[in-house]
Structure 1
Amino acid sequence: MNDFSNFERETSKFIKRFPYFHKLIKYIYQYINYILKRDKNFSYTIHRNAVITNISNESLFYGYYDHSPFSNDMNHFISHSFNNSLFLNLYKFKNEKLIKEASITETDYFNFQQGIRPIWLDSKNIIFNYVDNKFFKSGIYNIDNKLTTSIKYPVQEVSPDGEIIFSINYYHLDKINRDYGYNINERLKFEHINGIIGYRHKIDKILFNLKSEHIFNHSQNKHNFKLEDCEINHLHHCPYTDSILFIFRNIKSNGFSELFKYDYVNKKIYLIYSGKLMSHYCWIDKNKIFAYLEHNDENGFFELSFNNQIHITQELLPNKKDNLNDGHPSLSPNEKWIVYDSYPNKARKSCLYIIENKINAKKILIGTFYSPMKYYGYKRCDLHPRWSPDGKFISLDSAHEGKRKTYLINVSQILKKYE
């Protein structure tokens, strides 16, 4: 058995009370398991009806799982390359290959989870975080005129129409959870943000400011933790309504995770989950998400419904053996399929799965990928699977060839077989 057991996870959580020793012991334990369990000749395996393409020989990665590197018209593709500094590059996508068109920006301020958080606003404009004249902000790059327009707030998320930028305090996030921070130091300037803001960038207007204190006052854990020890993270816009979801949490060993919904038109905040763990999630319906969370002392993928009442069910993946590992889920453009990955097991193998968006869904193993030990912790290379706008391809980041690279997997034949 190469997966980590619940006992091992609980032990890791206990040792987390001692941060320095936790990191050291966790690394040593995983390294020993890797030596004992590894398959020396293994690189990757792929489903017989899927086609994987190495779209570039460069060391590339896009980053997070909640947005696609493809433009909506699928004519272009964005990705980071890394060579001491980080570069954000624009590529022409043609015949399932990338042709480099432009290097948009270079920076030393980034993270390996999200890079500089590039997001397509439409098929012509890309927003990303960067430093300009020692000021941490975001920029919008137009692929036609090749000009970058500066925006005074960094980006965490955008509305589906690209009109609203949602921003958080990355300086505070840096101190709490550097995996998603930018190593912002006192030499940099930035607009102070308390909590979350919604900003209409075209008319330079703040739509709302949801302050941290207001969020904290709605927390079920406000009497057990200090506000300054909590983070706001994983903010995603609802594809169906004018609302956002975000995680409010403390990541210490005895910490908590909460998921809030904020209706920014009616200025109403709702606590829809409070427990030991709320991790990655995606929408599968108007008031329903598919999320990896803790429920009744068990971790797994559950459906969380939050219309008039809050319900937690486990109907898509009811088999507990299918629910051992956290991952990054994403709903296909036609809303029929969910793709998700897993973190590396004891043999440093990560898996890629697709399931149908229905009760008792069949789990299809698309591929398994080796993750070298040098990509561990802060520098880890998660698969972060992302759908293409046409629903035919999954793009992912993987280090199974020894360096970070971006790959495309054509899954159209697999989906056709099960439709």
Structure 2
Amino acid sequence: MKRRDFLKAVTATSAGCLLNTTLPQSLSAESVDQWSLPTRVITTGPKHHWFGYYDKWQFDPTDRFVLSNEVSFEHRSPRESDSIGIGMVDTGEADRWIPLGTTKAWCWQQGCMLQWVPQREHTVLWNDREGDQFVCRILDTKSGDQRTVDTPIYSLAPDGQTAVTTDFRRIQDMRKGYGYAGLADPHRDELAPDDSGLWRVDLESGDRELVFSIAEAASTGAGNPSMEGAKHYFNHLLVSPDGNRTIFLHRWRPDGGRGKFRTRMFTIGLDGSDPYVLDPSGSTSHFIWRDDEYICAWTRPEGQPWGFYLFKDKTDEVEPVGRGVMTKNGHNTYLPIGDGTEWILNDTYPDRDRVQTVYLYHVPTEKVVKVGDFPSPRVYTGEWRCDTHPRYSRDGKTICVDSPVERSGRQLHLIDISEIVG
């Protein structure tokens, strides 16, 4: 079925290609039948491969080279001595593995922040540990030239020269699986330190400036009763498409850090100006910038059910997205097709049959297209679970997911969705 036929079908009163049966337990909507999409696994054992989070550039500007982490074990926490490989797959040459380096600063959910640098055709970066500090390696994959910046990074601005970051030592102290082993948080006995928080980094000079502290976040806005005696930290930073602002999640754990975490979503200028509590609900989870002004996030706004909502930055405007359709939390992005607002790529966590579903949501017609089901054996739980974290290619026509393969552990899967999105 071609894209024009799909659009015609989903808007028709009687659509022959639509199934009236129930989707997997983690979705709740009428669905287009799963297409026979070209799919292949592009990494192989005996080592295991994965990329991690869903909001980084995994594909190079030509969509030929696909970045990956490589590890020799699974199903336990990383230790200080554990080193993993960094490499890329050449999909234009029989999926050849090309080693690029190693790192001792990594976690199961987000890897080592490995990604292609915007505005640089051949440049990648990742975090590492060197002595008593975390650092960032920047590599030209064509020349082999490498340099080190004396700070780890979290998210890059579109100019490829600016980054934002926070303290991975504190993240590790607060929620293992997202920080890095090997270095202790120097502020571990402080509830809301004033010299730790959000830094802006110059990737050329390596200089960094603290632009907003954890203490400032804890005292900004109306607050929440659960903050009393809570321990605070930042996580999940992402710069806006125009490079002017960044999102970060302000999280706190009551009872001095022993309770279950709560979350507020902030946006702020890269210079620390104009901080704004965009979602004060305490419930923000996965999010993505749709464009320079709007953010789509899974949350539960006051008086509203759990769901995906579209927030307009620096305002109290919020509206549901995919209500009754995208009914479960997932890792959501907008495909760069058309004006960039037509297609949402998303996934689900394992249902009771341990199946994760990757799907597309067509915003104009409010229909779901199931891309694929990926089994996740029960051993993939907790800190070392293997979320699919679907990521798209630069042209938006290919998806890469992380998922276990029988007898090979987690590996990278490529899915061609060009017939769906055009």
Q: Give TM-score, length-normalised by structure 2.
A: 0.80
Is 1:216–1:222's contact at 8 Å kept on the other side of the alignment? Answer: no
1:210–1:266 Cα change, 3 Å: closer
For the residue of structure 2 that corresponds to 1:378, the secondary structure is helix
2-structure distance, mates of 1:365, 1:337? 13
Deviation string 1:322-341 (CA, Å, 9 cap, x unpaired) is 24321000111231311000
2-structure distance, mates of 1:229, 1:187? 13
2:347 counterpart of 1:341? yes
1:91–1:227 Cα change, 3 Å: farther
2-structure distance, mates of 1:262, 1:270? 6
1:180–1:343 Cα change, 3 Å: same
2-structure distance, mates of 1:303, 1:227? 32
For the residue of structure 2 that corresponds to 1:404, the secondary structure is strand
Name the residue aligned to 1:36: none
Aligned-partner residue type, residue 60 of structure 1: H
Aligned-partner residue type, residue 148 of structure 1: Q
Is 1:219–1:258's contact at 8 Å kept on the other side of the alignment? Answer: no
Shift of 1:176: 0.6
Which residue, out of 301, 326, 334, partners 2:329? Answer: 326
Shift of 1:256: 2.6
1-structure distance, mates of 2:58, 2:161? 19
Is 1:104–1:141's contact at 8 Å kept on the other side of the alignment? Answer: no
Which residue, out of 256, 274, 285, partners 1:279? Answer: 285
Shift of 1:103: 3.5
Aligned-partner residue type, residue 387 of structure 2: D
Shift of 1:304: 1.7
Name the residue aligned to 2:130: 132
Is 2:50–2:402's contact at 8 Å kept on the other side of the alignment? Answer: yes
2-structure distance, mates of 1:389, 1:50? 19
For the residue of structure 2 that corresponds to 1:154, the secondary structure is coil
1:113–1:266 Cα change, 3 Å: closer
Shift of 1:193: 6.3
2-structure distance, mates of 1:4, 1:78? 29
Q: Percent identity?
A: 21
2:306 counterpart of 1:299? yes
Aligned-partner residue type, residue 98 of structure 1: D
2:47 counterpart of 1:51? no
Q: Please, which moves more after superposition, 121-130 or 205-214?
A: 205-214
2-structure distance, mates of 1:227, 1:247? 19
Is 2:157–2:243's contact at 8 Å kept on the other side of the alignment? Answer: no
Shift of 1:51: 1.3
Shift of 1:102: 2.4
For the residue of structure 1 that corresponds to 2:153, the secondary structure is coil
Name the residue aligned to 1:111: 107
For the residue of structure 1 that corresponds to 2:421, the secondary structure is helix
Is 2:49–2:410's contact at 8 Å kept on the other side of the alignment? Answer: yes
Q: Please, which moves more after superposition, 368-377 or 333-342?
A: 333-342
Name the residue aligned to 2:246: 244
Name the residue aligned to 1:26: none
Q: C-alpha root-mean-square deviation of aligned residues, in Å?
A: 2.5
1:186–1:279 Cα change, 3 Å: closer
Which residue, out of 393, 397, 411, partners 1:392? Answer: 397
Shift of 1:387: 0.6
1-structure distance, mates of 2:279, 2:53? 23
1-structure distance, mates of 2:312, 2:275? 16
For the residue of structure 1 that corresponds to 2:412, the secondary structure is strand
Is 2:150–2:206's contact at 8 Å kept on the other side of the alignment? Answer: no
2:156 counterpart of 1:158? yes
2-structure distance, mates of 1:362, 1:349? 21
2-structure distance, mates of 1:234, 1:227? 23
Shift of 1:243: 0.5
Is 1:350–1:371's contact at 8 Å kept on the other side of the alignment? Answer: yes
Q: Give TM-score, length-normalised by structure 1.
A: 0.81
Name the residue aligned to 2:71: 82
For the residue of structure 2 that corresponds to 1:310, the secondary structure is coil
2-structure distance, mates of 1:119, 1:130? 13
Name the residue aligned to 1:30: none
1-structure distance, mates of 2:243, 2:275? 14
Aligned-partner residue type, residue 328 of structure 1: H
Aligned-partner residue type, residue 298 of structure 1: P
Shift of 1:207: 5.2
Query: Larger helix proportion, structure 1 or 2?
Result: 1
1:279–1:266 Cα change, 3 Å: closer
Q: Which runs of 5+ in 2 are unaligned?
A: 1-21, 28-32, 74-82, 187-193
1:3–1:356 Cα change, 3 Å: closer
